Structure 1
Amino acid sequence: MPGPVRTRMMPVAEDASVTQLELFFDLVIVFAFTMVTDFAAHETTAVNLLRALLILAMLWWSWIGYSWLGNVVKADEGIARVAMFVAMGAAFIIALTIPESFHDLPGGWYGPLVFVIAYLAVRLIHLTVFWMASTEDAQLRRQVIRWAAGSLSVASVLLVVGALTTGTAQLVLWLAALVWDMGWTFFAGNEWRLYSASHFAERYGLIVIIALGESIVSIGVGVAGLPISWAITVGSMLGLAVAGLLWWAYFDVAALVVEHAMHRAGGERRIQIARNCYTFWHFPMIAGIVAMALGSKKVLSYVGGAQGHSLSDQLHGIPLFALYGGVVTYLIALVGFRHYATGTVLAPRLLAAAVLLALLPLASMAPALAALGMLCAVLLALIVFEVVRYAQPRDLIRHGLD
């Protein structure tokens, strides 16, 4: 006879790995990241870039809650599994309404309000499951109450009121909601639970990989339907190389070092590393990847001759800032990520970021393909230098560190 159906939540083991359901959930979130890239590309102005960044931050803030939840209860067991699927549905609606999150389209429901309702649904599902998970854990229950009382309550009001306004008022109210939410989370205490450091680090590493994959998809979409040429081939390879080098900068050593530091830490220090290194420092990494994807997409459309562009056209304004600024943001975030956990400052990465900023005037005068090539060259020089300069400690971290 078949065994009883599990309806209760199951705790996460110390050696747990990311579940397939969590990966499925992440794919929906990354689809939303793709929609953010398209949203930013539709109108390349500073205001629209700020709107896109705000939407991305809201998506991130809804996702990180499930990264913490999945480290307390198994995401694919019992009621948690049902909650994950319902949250996925709400997240998919968020993604679909991104194009009209600030400008309602004629016909249908009012886009900005649907966006907010779906966002709050994702957050409330997370809160409900966390509440249920803390039934027999007084410390976790106190933390959940303290966080929810000050964070979601205030943010919800600001988001709904903002959805019912337009223009600058909407942007300011939504930005205020996000700043309040993040700020309250930072100061709301360190009594969260983190049962598996390896699961937590793996979850964030996978979202970085998927985001980098989204950047490659954006490159492909940018040249879809255009006849293949040497310029498109070279541009595509350069874009792929940039994504690969960003992967190397994260996974070769940095991710391992911080994960080991979180393993060794205990009590509040482990929670602080998880919150600051992963919840907070990973957001500028994701934002940098999305911005880089926007810039790469524009480069490929230029070299492919889309919309009247030619191979000699330069990359200006927001697309150039997104391409170079996205990589600079990513590198600085990696420095902060490792510094908080270990106290080490990665000077070569700060230098590479400074070089990229110094190259911006030259990149703006060069053809778009050359600008992408210079970016790739700086990243390649950084990685080669680190591999040679830090060969021995790198080998110890990758192969000889417990």
Structure 2
Amino acid sequence: MQAMQERSSVSPLELFFDLVFVFALTGVTALMAEDTSARNLVRGVLVMAVLWWSWIGYTWLANVVRADEGFARVAMFFAMGSMFIVALTIPEAFDDLPGGLPGPVVFAVGYFFVRLMHLATFWLASADDPQLRGQLLRFVPSMVAGTTLLLIASQLSGTAQTLMWLAALVADYLGTLFGGAGWRLNSASHFAERYGLIIIVALGESIVSIGIGVTALPISWPIVAGSLLGLAVSGLLWWAYFDTTTLAAERALSAATGETQIRLARGGYTFLHLPMVMGIVLISLGLKKVLNYVGDGSHHTLTDPLYGIPLVALFGGGALFLFGLAGFKAYVTGTMGPVNLGRITTAVVLVALIPLAWHLPALASLGLLTAVLLALILFETVRFAEHRDEIRHGEH
């Protein structure tokens, strides 16, 4: 297998791999939208966490060996097939539908094969690297525990099933967190680009959620307004991440070496990008419900409020994204800074606005979210103009 070079870019095969993840994110949003209860929201979060852990393993793998060369290419296609089956089974991840194969079991087995192919390919790639192979051996127990507990969960129901899912995720996540920092990072720029692209993938899914619920409805001014506001929210989130944050974080990651670099990559990207992606998925749920409200004819556009889980997802998702973004930048760059404090303050404001938005028409709630995010971006652009220019155009 061909090793990844220091300044390599993301390969087309990795982008192709992410198409399956796009479909999986759509499935998570649909799962939470089908039954907007707290229990179903928790289920959606758990499924998202499993999908994320399936995806991140291949970001580390493709940073050690080229994903589009030799056996790694075959492994990526095999993983795509398994991941696609997992995505197809999301509606049955907890409750089996009548007929066909047992959905929860298929989901768990698909996840097992995604993880198994990742481990096998890493094992081959580490043939001449005893330290990396030792790291893999320390990683195996968490992988076995996570997949085994998920298989056990497929035989349970109700609270016991949910708790077993949670135990599986704890085993996977904590096992990786405390399993050592003996991994390899051959290209910091490739690694940062990989995670930036997954943010774009998640934002793309939010745009799909805006339109997919109203494409069969006659166009109207409320649909036009809601769609543009939803697109503005996605654009503002994009701006918050890509304008300066990802540049500053990539440079800090590139400047680090050894285990320090591995810890920054693991903490800042593998762990702290999850709340950002999860926040976008929750916003997608809220956007989907807002567009349904303004377009389906069963709600009064000017008076009917968005309430309950969809409203909490809309504003809470925005807050979660900003918390994750601030944590990511602070962790990787090693400083909190006034920009991060502004984002944390805005996240707190979004949470505090939920009781007010509960009494506003759905379209007005979306407008309020857009206004708060726009105010944050305008403030950052004007207040930190010199700092922003230095990061984007200064020498580095």
When normalised by structure 2's length, the TM-score is 0.98
- Structure 1 position 394 matched with structure 2 position 388: yes
**Of 24, 34, 39, the match for 2:31:** 39
**Partner SS state of residue 365, structure 1:** coil
- Structure 1 position 276 matched with structure 2 position 270: no
2:111 and 2:147 in contact (8 A); partners too? no
Question: In structure 1, how many angstroms separate the alpha carbons of the residues matched to 2:202 and 2:21?
Answer: 10
1:304 and 1:310 in contact (8 A); partners too? no
1:216 alignment counterpart: 207
2:67 and 2:73 in contact (8 A); partners too? yes
Question: In structure 2, how many angstroms separate the alpha carbons of the residues matched to 1:174 and 1:370?
Answer: 37
Measured after TM superposition, the shift of residue 138 of structure 1 is 0.7
Give, as a single letter, the amino acid of the residue that structure 1 aligns with 2:299.
H
Among the aligned pairs, what percent are the same residue? 59
- Structure 1 position 326 matched with structure 2 position 320: no
1:5 alignment counterpart: none
2:184 alignment counterpart: 193
Measured after TM superposition, the shift of residue 393 of structure 1 is 1.0
**Partner SS state of residue 71, structure 1:** coil
**Partner SS state of residue 14, structure 1:** coil
Question: In structure 2, how many angstroms separate the alpha carbons of the residues matched to 1:42 and 1:81?
Answer: 36
Give, as a single letter, the amino acid of the residue that structure 2 aligns with 1:56.
M
- In the TM superposition, what are the counterparts of 1:2-401 in structure 2 within 5 Å? 9-148=1-140, 150-306=141-297, 308-311=298-301, 312-345=303-336, 346-401=340-395
Measured after TM superposition, the shift of residue 354 of structure 1 is 1.5
Q: Which runs of 5+ in 1 are unaligned?
A: 1-8
Question: In structure 1, how many angstroms separate the alpha carbons of the residues matched to 2:285 and 2:294?
Answer: 15
Q: Which runs of 5+ in 2 are unaligned?
A: none
Question: In structure 1, how many angstroms separate the alpha carbons of the residues matched to 2:132 and 2:312?
Answer: 43
**Partner SS state of residue 127, structure 2:** coil
Give, as a single letter, the amino acid of the residue that structure 2 aligns with 1:378.
V
Measured after TM superposition, the shift of residue 383 of structure 1 is 0.3
4+ runs of 1 displaced by more than 2 Å? Answer: none
Most deviating of 155-164 and 235-244: 155-164
Give, as a single letter, the amino acid of the residue that structure 2 aligns with 1:322.
A
Question: In structure 2, how many angstroms separate the alpha carbons of the residues matched to 1:100 and 1:11?
Answer: 39
Question: In structure 2, how many angstroms separate the alpha carbons of the residues matched to 1:305 and 1:199?
Answer: 44
Give, as a single letter, the amino acid of the residue that structure 2 aligns with 1:328.
A
Give, as a single letter, the amino acid of the residue that structure 1 aligns with 2:259.
E
Measured after TM superposition, the shift of residue 121 of structure 1 is 0.4
1:151 and 1:184 in contact (8 A); partners too? yes
Measured after TM superposition, the shift of residue 343 of structure 1 is 2.7
Give, as a single letter, the amino acid of the residue that structure 2 aligns with 1:394.
R
Measured after TM superposition, the shift of residue 57 of structure 1 is 0.3
